[in-house]
C-alpha cells in the first residue's frame, strides 16, 4: 500500500514537471521584470493548480495591495501574538485567560459577521494550539524573515512561529486545510519554507511544520522531499513568464 502511494506520488510529480516545462517552453521571455512577491502557500497553490488557478494567481499578484490581500495576510496575527506572549511569560495561564477574555468581548461587539468570524477563528486557533502544545516548555523567538528567490520571483517563507526547544529550532505555520485542497499543497509549501530557511539557519526538514488549527493535525517536512527542488524552480520560471506576459 505504501509503495503504491509512493509510486503514485512520484508519477504525479513527474507529470507536473513535464507540464510546467511545456508551459515554460511555449512562453518567450520579454526581458527583465519587477520582483514578483508571493507567499509560500500561494506559490504552492499556483504550481499545483490548473489553468484557472494559475490565471487567478497572476491577476491577484498584479493587484497585491487589495483589501482582500491584506485581510488574508494578517488573519491569524492576533492568535500568534497571544501564543508568543504566553510562552514569553513562561506559560502564564493568567496572561492567557485575560487575553482570551479580551478577544471574546471583541467578538461579541464586532460590527460585522466577517470581523466576528475572524476573531472566533483566532480564538479557536489559540484553543487548539494550547490543547496540543500548551504544556511544552519552549522559547518563542522572533520569526526570521526568510525568502526563496529564483528569476524575478521572491517567495516569502516566514513562519508564524519560530520555536527553540533545547538546541532544536522549529518553524511553524498555522492554517486550515480546506476539504477540497490538494494535500500536496502543504507538502510543497513546507519544502519552500525549508529551502529558504536552510540558506540562513541550521534546521532539518522535519522541523518545518504546518499546524492545522481545525483538525488539530501536524504536518512535517521530510528529507524525502528533496526532489521537489526541481518542481519549485520550474514553478518560479512559469510564474515569472506568466506575470511578465500579462503585464506587458
Q: Is residue 10 part of a domain?
A: no
Question: How many C-beta atoms lie closer than 10 Å to residue 217's C-beta?
Answer: 12
Residues 147 and 173 in one domain: yes
Residues 202 and 238 in one domain: yes
Task: Look at 15 and 88; give whichever has higher pLDDT.
Answer: 88
81 and 106 inside one domain: yes
Residues 127, 232: one domain? no
**30: pLDDT strictly greater than 50:** no
Give residue 120's domain range: 73-137
Quote the CA–CA distance of 74 and 160 in Å, as a whole number.
10
pLDDT at 153: 94
**What is the structure's pLDDT at 18?**
57
Residues 55 and 160 in one domain: yes
Between CA 196 and CA 174 the distance in angstroms is 18
Report d(CA 95, CA 225) in Å as an integer. 40
Cα 24 from Cα 22, distance rounded (Å) = 5
- 104 found inside a domain: yes
- Is 133 in the same domain as 147? no
- Residue pLDDT, tens place only, 166-215: 889 999 998 888 777 888 999 999 999 999 999 999 999 999 999 988 88
Same domain, 115 and 146: no
**Cβ(173)–Cβ(217) under 8 Å?**
no
Instruction: Report CA 168 to chain centroid distance, whole Å.
Output: 21
Looking at beta carbons, which pairs linking 200-203 to residues 24 or more positions away fall under 8 Å?
A: 200/144, 200/146, 201/144, 201/146, 201/169, 202/169, 203/169, 203/171
pLDDT digits (tens, 9 = 90+) for 207-237: 999 998 888 889 999 999 988 999 999 999 9
In a domain, 27, yes or no: no
* pLDDT tens-digit readout, 59-100: 888 875 544 444 444 678 899 889 989 988 889 999 999 999
Residues 49 and 152 in one domain: yes
In a domain, 13, yes or no: no
Contact at 8 Å (CB) between 151 and 240?
A: yes
Give the model's pLDDT for residue 11.
Answer: 65
User: Quick one: pLDDT at residue 69?
Assistant: 43
Q: Which three cell numbers stand for residue 166?
A: 533545547
Mean pLDDT of the chain: 83
Q: Name the DSSP class of 31.
A: S
CA gap 163, 128 in Å, rounded: 17
Is 31 a residue whose pLDDT tops 80? no
Amino acid at each position: 500500500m505504501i509503495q503504491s502511494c509512493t509510486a503514485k506520488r512520484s508519477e504525479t510529480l513527474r507529470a507536473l514537471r513535464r507540464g510546467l516545462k511545456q508551459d515554460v517552453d511555449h512562453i518567450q521571455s520579454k526581458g527583465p521584470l519587477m520582483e514578483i512577491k508571493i507567499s509560500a502557500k500561494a506559490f504552492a497553490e499556483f504550481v499545483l493548480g490548473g489553468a484557472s488557478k494559475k490565471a487567478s494567481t497572476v491577476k491577484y499578484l498584479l493587484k497585491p495591495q487589495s483589501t482582500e490581500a491584506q485581510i488574508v495576510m494578517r488573519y491569524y496575527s492576533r492568535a500568534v501574538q497571544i501564543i508568543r506572549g504566553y510562552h514569553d511569560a513562561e506559560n502564564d495561564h493568567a496572561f492567557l485567560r485575560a487575553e482570551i477574555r479580551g478577544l471574546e468581548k471583541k467578538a461579541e461587539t464586532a460590527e460585522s459577521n466577517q470581523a466576528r468570524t475572524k476573531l472566533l477563528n483566532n480564538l479557536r486557533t489559540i484553543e487548539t494550539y494550547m490543547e496540543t502544545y500548551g504544556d511544552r516548555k519552549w522559547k518563542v523567538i522572533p520569526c526570521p524573515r526568510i525568502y526563496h528567490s529564483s528569476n524575478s520571483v521572491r517567495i516569502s517563507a516566514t513562519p508564524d512561529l519560530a520555536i527553540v526547544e533545547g538546541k532544536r529550532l522549529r518553524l511553524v505555520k498555522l492554517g486550515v486545510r480546506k476539504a477540497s485542497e490538494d494535500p500536496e499543497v502543504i507538502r510543497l509549501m513546507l519544502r519552500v519554507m525549508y529551502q529558504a530557511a536552510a540558506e540562513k539557519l541550521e534546521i532539518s526538514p522535519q522541523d518545518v511544520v504546518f499546524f492545522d488549527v481545525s483538525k488539530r493535525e501536524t504536518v512535517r517536512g521530510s528529507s524525502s522531499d528533496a526532489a521537489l527542488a526541481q518542481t519549485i524552480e520550474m514553478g518560479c520560471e512559469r510564474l515569472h513568464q506568466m506575470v511578465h506576459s500579462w503585464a506587458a
